[in-house]
Structure 1
Amino acid sequence: MRPTVSDFVIQRLCAWGVRRVYGYPGDGINGLMGAIDRADGAIDFVQTRHEELAAFMATAHAKFSGEVGVCLATSGPGAIHLLNGLYDAKLDHQPVVAIVGQQKRSALGSDYQQEVDLVSLFKDVAHEFVQMATSAPQVRHLIDRAMRIARDRRAVTCVIFPNDVQDLPAVPVPPREHGTVHSGIGNAAAALVPPTEALEQAAQILNAGRKVAVLAGAGALQATDELIHVTQRLAAGLAKALLGKACVPDDLPFVTGSIGVLGTRPSSRMMEDCDTLLMVGSSFPYAEFLPAEGQARCVQIDLDPRSLGLRYPVELSLLGDSRATLAALLPMLDHKDHGEWRLGIERDVARWWRELEARAHVNAAPMNPQRVFWELSPRLPEQSILTCDSGTAANWYARDVKLRRGMKASLSGGLATMGPAIPYAIAAKCHHPDRPVVALLGDGAMQMNGLNGLITVARLWRDWADRRLVVMVLNNRDLNLVSWEQRVLAGDPKFEDSQALPDFPYAHFAEMLGLRALRVDSPEAIGPAWDAAFAADRPMLLEMVTDAAVPPLPPDVSLAQTKAYFAALWHGDPEAIRTLKAVAKEYWASATA
């Protein structure tokens, strides 16, 4: 059989190094699915339960592999379902290519069944490049441009294939004539280090600082040693944006932890008092957690020129790769003595870890969710990969989990959407089948699409060299983060019709799928449950029955938030007494730690 356009698409993706595609079939992409089958294993097709999960997996593939993630969906509803996961990739600056089907060219414009204006639909999420193939000679440069732009601009791109185009005879080499394009796959080389003059100016600013703070984000994940050396040389402290949690180990005494609403008090104090700020690979958005304008001189390093000077009035912006730029900057920095500024940061960090331990051991009915995360940290196997969902699970993950060197971790940062923890974990296992993976999520995200994700886990786990994938779900029957936001931000009582979740036997469901599972409802059983999960011979679900009244306290509670909370209690919050007692216990634990 003569190769088709679909065969050529798969071959071209392989030439670009793509070895795995996440998706869901449909008649709009029958040609492409047949080509994957004919490719005889050259590309591994991971069938998901829903196209949204496929896009999440492609995003996680990019995050955990450094490669371009690829997802595939049929026309109409299948393409629409990709959008949330693709926006997750867009807002976290991950390279993802979406390949979607479309109705025949002859039907377009006729309001045909499943006909959607896909170019318009994807124009925002894939604004760097979205095109529809209309002829066979066009396909080579469409795939090449989609892959190159996604990789080099760390963006989402999309190529749309009408199903009749998929079955056209392939044209691997377009005719050499006017109006054709002859693209290629060659590697791209970029300038990764700013000029020496700019580095010297940056060093002058940092050397002049007496109280230097470093803020690192996802763009610094590959610069662990360089970040540590620069922070030590400057006698600084280092805070991390949530997507950069894995950039340096949490057990270093000068690492203040996460920053922001989900962050730590040492990070907030450091930003309040510093006179110099070095931002590395981060576009952390919350101005109220950064130094006041005019307080600190600022140097920023970022590979994306659009992120420079975006969040803080930067005195000097360095456009370059974080690792290479820090390495070039290091010899120009003066070695500062570790005086009161640095020693004060280390005291704050040590005190904060004691406070978190005390909070985690506060009694709750039946269990304190913080203790679930606190007990996890010392049990994490080496080289673990962690994924987390949005909600209060992200609060406890941000503060209580101590990542060590060599571990990877991620969540939905810019979009902060619900639902990615389990698809992220699946993609992590597909690319790193020899590493243990942990997914952390609440029952809201679990009911949204986590249960469907477990079905895929049950299908795939036998192919993994290390079969440990632990899914931990907080069962508190509440959309907990929003319940607390209603109280503390809006001053409204918890709205039961909106917030209460139906109880569900998560552990039993996992067992029905052939996975291991435990339901845990006593604090003494938390540690042994984690031990059992990491010793299991297959994926295991831990259903942790926790107390929704335990507050996810920000680093500092403002007067306005306090007034709003008491207003919510006054207006008849159904859990007023329980939450008031829990808040009091947390504050007492903090005060006595």
Structure 2
Amino acid sequence: MTGGPKLVADALVERLRGWHVEKLYGYAGDGINGLLGALGRAGNRPEFIHAVHEELASFMATAHAKFTGEVGVCTATSGPGAIHLLNGLYDAKLDHQPVVAILGQQPGVALGSGYLQEVDLAVLFKDVASDFLGVMTHPAQLHHLVDRAFRVALERRAPTAIIIPQSVQELPAPEGLPHEHGFQHSGIGYSAPRILPREEDLRRAAEVLNAGKRVALLVGAGALQATDEVIAVAETLGAGVAKALLGKAAVPDDLPFVTGSVGWLGTAASNWMMQECDTLLMVGSSFPYTEYLPREGQARGVQIDREAKTLSLRYPMEVPLVGDSTETLHALLPLLERKTNTSWRQETEARVAAWWEEAERRAAQPAQPLNPQLVVSELSKRLPDDAILSGDSGTAAVWIARNVRLRRGMKVSLSGGLASMGSGVPYALAAKINFPDRLAVALVGDGAMQMSGNAALLAVAQRWQTWADPRLVIVVFNNRDLNYVTWEQRVMGGTPRFGPSQNLFDFPFARYAELLGLRGVRVDAPQGVAAAWDEALSADRPVVLEAYVDANVPTLPAELRPGQRDHLEQALGQGDPDAVGVREQLILQGVTEKT
């Protein structure tokens, strides 16, 4: 800072640097003019990342937390700016990510008068920032509000928020706080504790796991840092490992006993294992679709999670353990007995091998004009070891779950608990900003791309020339349909595709990218997919790869339950406009009824 008195906003910027914040995702507005001025005086440290839209800023902050393990920080002005942050902050809340939101507010003297853009932000944010929400009305609050926001975000793995009226931002910063009643003297710093169950509880868990003959592991995002421990436990118990969507990178897919994703988006191998296991070890996951877990009473259960509120929620666990995944598995491992009967492991590995063969068979099936699974299968073969993937909600998430074979060192994430559209491109952009020397790939549906992805491309065009490796590939599955919902209408509701709600404008995504100075590649035939990927991955700038795909390729489990099959037949028999193409693809993809 040079010249003039030190303001609250200057002290805020200093405190952010004290918490090692290097990036601040946001969008300008008069409610944070004090903060923006302070960033200018501080030489843009931390760096302000212009996010094109506040919702994109909060998604980027959430992705920052997911991909780096650090606190993500976002900021926006009062009123509509703050409102726009909410979606990405709920993404952080539901996926348990540490994010701090700094919110501007109208001058304190005007509050309560119905002033321009006046919104009761404390009420509005008290749910999404339920772990900590602070309102700064006096400069002396600065340090303890910022420090608590960061410490709570880290400890609770949750979003927190600080509301700072514009008038407070521009007040003189206190030079030191008096040692008087009410004044708080706060400090910077947080070290994560060891969270480990008691020895007797670990022994109870080991007894259950050692007694099992057909042990299955289900791991989620809470196991992302426990890769070696998960593998060691699975090897000792002769178990297969299934993955919830956010846990896809917890264990690599090239291990023969890793069955892949589970549930509606899952593989045939994972869903078979859940149906046939006699013991379930659930690690760092609150996988919600209980119909894809073992039937109650079928399997004995052990669960590991940092939060007691998640334990024994989806399945009645015999031994629920509050603990960090890495620490708990490491402590549990010496208590486990190596299985001598390998028949369960052999059957699991055979099912895994059969699934990957089936996935390739499905990807090779003809479609009009192009099978989306082929696009993802060809990408998977070309990914470098350090690639970072993001996906949007919808059909893109299905193809990531089933068709991408992750290897150790890769990262992938999506909007999981919230499952929000519009997250894929800002996730990839945040990954690229934080890892500018690594390839980032976003898989996005045309609905999500039209919703906000096209706007996020402006930020890509603005920043890409600063990256050590300019490659950021955004794959858009252009099927002119809100396709995942279309299939939900058929299979969950028994209603035919409803065009007025599902039809999308046929937007020229690749041509639009070219207008922004990026590379656009369009593919609409199977023989062109490999060459399209080679062109995209060797480009000297970010690429939008527009895949013109068939909306009739089903995003369904390999086996439909009888009720689901009945709903689908009902929908197709009631005038679904795509019934002929859908029936053809159901046969080609081998979707059958579960008996």
Distance 1:55 1:511 in 2: 27
Equivalent position of 1:565 in the other structure: 568
Distance 1:138 1:30 in 2: 19
Deviation sequence 1:491-547 (CA, Å, 0-9, x none): 111111110100111001101111111110111111111111111111111000000
How many residues of Structure 1 are paired with residues of Structure 2 in the alignment?
A: 590
Counterparts of 1:98-177 in structure 2 under 5 Å? Answer: 98-171=101-174, 173-177=176-180
Counterparts of 1:389-468 in structure 2 under 5 Å? Answer: 389-468=392-471
Deviation at 1:567, TM superposition (A): 1.3
Unaligned runs of 5+ in 1: none
Distance 1:327 1:507 in 2: 48
Distance 2:36 2:558 in 1: 50
Find 2:323's aligned residue among 320, 324, 331: 320
Match status 1:273 vs 2:276: yes
| Counterpart contact for 1:262–1:555, Cα < 8 Å | no
Distance 2:224 2:233 in 1: 15
The residue type equivalent to 1:168 in the other structure is: L
The residue type equivalent to 1:494 in the other structure is: R
Find 1:493's aligned residue among 485, 493, 496: 496
Distance 1:369 1:65 in 2: 30
Deviation at 1:187, TM superposition (A): 2.6
Match status 1:510 vs 2:529: no
Deviation at 1:172, TM superposition (A): 5.2
Distance 2:64 2:460 in 1: 16
Distance 2:460 2:423 in 1: 14
- Select between 22-31 and 302-311 the one with higher mean Cα deviation: 302-311
Deviation at 1:458, TM superposition (A): 0.6
Deviation at 1:196, TM superposition (A): 2.2
Find 2:391's aligned residue among 388, 393, 400: 388
SS in 2 for 1:173: coil
Match status 1:68 vs 2:71: yes
The residue type equivalent to 1:275 in the other structure is: D
| Counterpart contact for 1:102–1:115, Cα < 8 Å | yes
Distance 1:172 1:327 in 2: 48
Equivalent position of 2:49 in the other structure: 46
Match status 1:519 vs 2:526: no
Deviation at 1:387, TM superposition (A): 0.1
Equivalent position of 1:180 in the other structure: 183
| Counterpart contact for 2:55–2:85, Cα < 8 Å | yes
Distance 1:284 1:508 in 2: 39
- Select between 194-203 and 38-47 the one with higher mean Cα deviation: 194-203
| Counterpart contact for 2:19–2:189, Cα < 8 Å | no
- Select between 120-129 and 533-542 the one with higher mean Cα deviation: 533-542
SS in 1 for 2:457: helix
* Change over 3 Å in CA distance of 1:182–1:523 after alignment to 2: same
SS in 2 for 1:82: helix
Identity of aligned residues (%): 59
Deviation at 1:192, TM superposition (A): 2.6
- Select between 350-359 and 338-347 the one with higher mean Cα deviation: 338-347
The residue type equivalent to 2:151 in the other structure is: R
Q: CA RMSD in A?
A: 1.2
Deviation at 1:75, TM superposition (A): 0.4
Distance 2:29 2:189 in 1: 33
Deviation at 1:383, TM superposition (A): 0.3
TM-score (norm. length: structure 2): 0.98
| Counterpart contact for 1:57–1:427, Cα < 8 Å | yes
The residue type equivalent to 1:543 in the other structure is: E
| Counterpart contact for 1:193–1:320, Cα < 8 Å | yes
Distance 1:296 1:364 in 2: 40
The residue type equivalent to 1:267 in the other structure is: S
- Select between 165-174 and 219-228 the one with higher mean Cα deviation: 165-174
Counterparts of 1:188-587 in structure 2 under 5 Å? Answer: 188-337=191-340, 339-587=342-590
Deviation at 1:556, TM superposition (A): 1.9
| Counterpart contact for 1:8–1:172, Cα < 8 Å | no
| Counterpart contact for 1:92–1:414, Cα < 8 Å | yes
Deviation at 1:188, TM superposition (A): 3.0
Deviation sequence 1:196-240 (CA, Å, 0-9, x none): 222222111111111100000000001111111110100000000
- Select between 301-310 and 516-525 the one with higher mean Cα deviation: 301-310
Unaligned runs of 5+ in 2: none
- Select between 527-536 and 354-363 the one with higher mean Cα deviation: 527-536
| Counterpart contact for 1:140–1:172, Cα < 8 Å | no
Match status 1:89 vs 2:92: yes
Distance 2:572 2:312 in 1: 42
Deviation at 1:193, TM superposition (A): 2.3
The residue type equivalent to 1:573 in the other structure is: D
Equivalent position of 2:59 in the other structure: 56
Deviation at 1:39, TM superposition (A): 1.1
Distance 1:577 1:76 in 2: 49
Deviation at 1:251, TM superposition (A): 1.2
Equivalent position of 1:8 in the other structure: 11
TM-score (norm. length: structure 1): 0.98
Equivalent position of 2:31 in the other structure: 28
Deviation at 1:189, TM superposition (A): 4.4
Match status 1:78 vs 2:77: no
* Change over 3 Å in CA distance of 1:282–1:537 after alignment to 2: same
The residue type equivalent to 1:76 in the other structure is: G
SS in 1 for 2:48: strand
Deviation at 1:348, TM superposition (A): 0.7
SS in 1 for 2:202: helix
Deviation at 1:65, TM superposition (A): 0.4
